[in-house]
Structure 1
């Protein structure tokens, strides 16, 4: 399995004044293969949001290297990073980040404008993306006319529209009820089965349990899950699967 995300000694230090420094990330080594569904779990302040910003090319590290689909991000200028971000990484956020004045089709098609795709092809691909996430009959609904789960599906379709190898999801179920959140996680698993690489950022052990592999952030350091944590997450996953089977009876 080839690596699509690889970090070596990745670190981030913020200046909090003339002398004080805040170490947000400490020497992170991580390899994520193509087609994996990985969760990065940790409490607020653990460094997971900083790591997300770095692997999403929204920020630059203070030291270390990051390879995104084989490209050394440290060698890129701001314009090149933006181009890589557009084509290599799809983002899904807790707050959906949809434009209220646009319908679902227009929201999904919007990134294709930055990629210089012809207007007719934008709409055709957006239609197909919405159908792929189960919203083929809602393409002309605006966000205010959609449920939270439907809005998140629109956001996922938009994240996938440029066919990026990496889907980066930041607390994607945080604004959803339990049942809808489980449906979104099932959609991520389906995307994994189709060959997409999914990286999920979460503070919730139940959400992390849905991934194939879990990393745990503590005080700016990344750890593979311990045997105890793995057992706890496996127990959570079994309980969730049992509840799902019971709900479908």
Structure 2
């Protein structure tokens, strides 16, 4: 990422406090500075309760910060009303979860096509785009199968296809290999790398260091604070970014 490029994800001193000013107050995130470029593959790693899921919810515009600023593709999300925020979330961000979250009575094709209904895409075009996306994740021959007729890895591929159907530049994956065996997990991680190569930005939330090692950059969260692990970068291209405390990086 060059200095002239606008980060696809940028947070500035982002913080989140639950139940502030009460005995139940919890500081879930402290002064998180993050710059992620288009086409980056980033892992955010930490144990349960470290703040990584809070950060993902803020990046995914599922929650609002208590302090700081979040720019999504150059847009300050705090300036958006509820409708504008929903449009940004639909167009910019795809979500993949550990539990797949597929509707059991729908076929793979219908599950993938579902977000296009909210975007008011005509049914024929919806089905065509859904089939193309299933082909892209290697499941073109499973379009008519329901989730119960698919393996865990295949269900996760359907979930990834659904996340990609609106062609969002950002893919947020929360423990996407957590319910899979190691071999299937490796296949899903290889798919994320291909998506990265197609210019998607992949942000992977995980507690597993072996999973995180597949990413080009790794951030570690402890007690709501985030630190980038030195020595990681765009390894395939030979470009390694230094450890950077925040957006005020030196040129």
| TM-score past 0.5 threshold | yes
The residue that corresponds to 1:143 in the other structure is 147
Cα drift, residue 19 of structure 1:
4.3
SS at 1:84 equivalent? helix
In structure 1, which of residues 164, 171, 180 is the aligned counterpart of residue 168 of structure 2? 164
Quote the Cα distance in structure 1 between the aligned partners of 2:135 and 2:42: 25
- Point out the more displaced range, 16-25 or 66-75: 16-25
Cα drift, residue 17 of structure 1:
7.8
Quote the Cα distance in structure 1 between the aligned partners of 2:186 and 2:164: 20
The residue that corresponds to 2:208 in the other structure is 204
In structure 2, which of residues 26, 50, 53 is the aligned counterpart of residue 22 of structure 1? 26
The residue that corresponds to 1:214 in the other structure is 218
The residue that corresponds to 2:159 in the other structure is 155
The residue that corresponds to 1:195 in the other structure is 199
In structure 1, which of residues 88, 104, 107 is the aligned counterpart of residue 108 of structure 2? 104
Q: Under a length normalisation based on structure 1, what TM-score does the superposition of the two structures give?
A: 0.89
Q: How does 1:1-249 map to 2 (within 5 A)?
A: 1=1, 2=5, 3-15=7-19, 18-226=22-230
Q: Closer, same or farther in 2 for the Cα pair 1:178/1:123, shift >3 Å?
A: same
Cα drift, residue 202 of structure 1:
0.2
The residue that corresponds to 2:238 in the other structure is none
Post-superposition Cα deviations, 1:125-161, rounded to whole Å, max 9, x if no partner, equal 0000000000000000000000000000000000000
Q: CA RMSD in A?
A: 1.3
Post-superposition Cα deviations, 1:55-109, rounded to whole Å, max 9, x if no partner, equal 0000000011001111110111222211111110000000000000100000000
Q: Under a length normalisation based on structure 2, what TM-score does the superposition of the two structures give?
A: 0.89
- Point out the more displaced range, 158-167 or 73-82: 73-82
Q: Which runs of 5+ in 1 are unaligned?
A: 235-249
Quote the Cα distance in structure 1 between the aligned partners of 2:136 and 2:181: 22
Quote the Cα distance in structure 2 between the aligned partners of 1:226 and 1:70: 26
SS at 1:180 equivalent? helix
SS at 1:8 equivalent? strand
SS at 1:214 equivalent? strand
Quote the Cα distance in structure 2 between the aligned partners of 1:196 and 1:58: 20
Cα drift, residue 226 of structure 1:
4.4
- Runs of 4+ with deviation above 2 angstroms: 16-20
Quote the Cα distance in structure 2 between the aligned partners of 1:195 and 1:20: 42
Going by fraction, where is helix more abundant, 1 or 2?
Answer: 1
Post-superposition Cα deviations, 1:161-200, rounded to whole Å, max 9, x if no partner, equal 0000100000000000000000000000011111110000
SS at 1:23 equivalent? strand
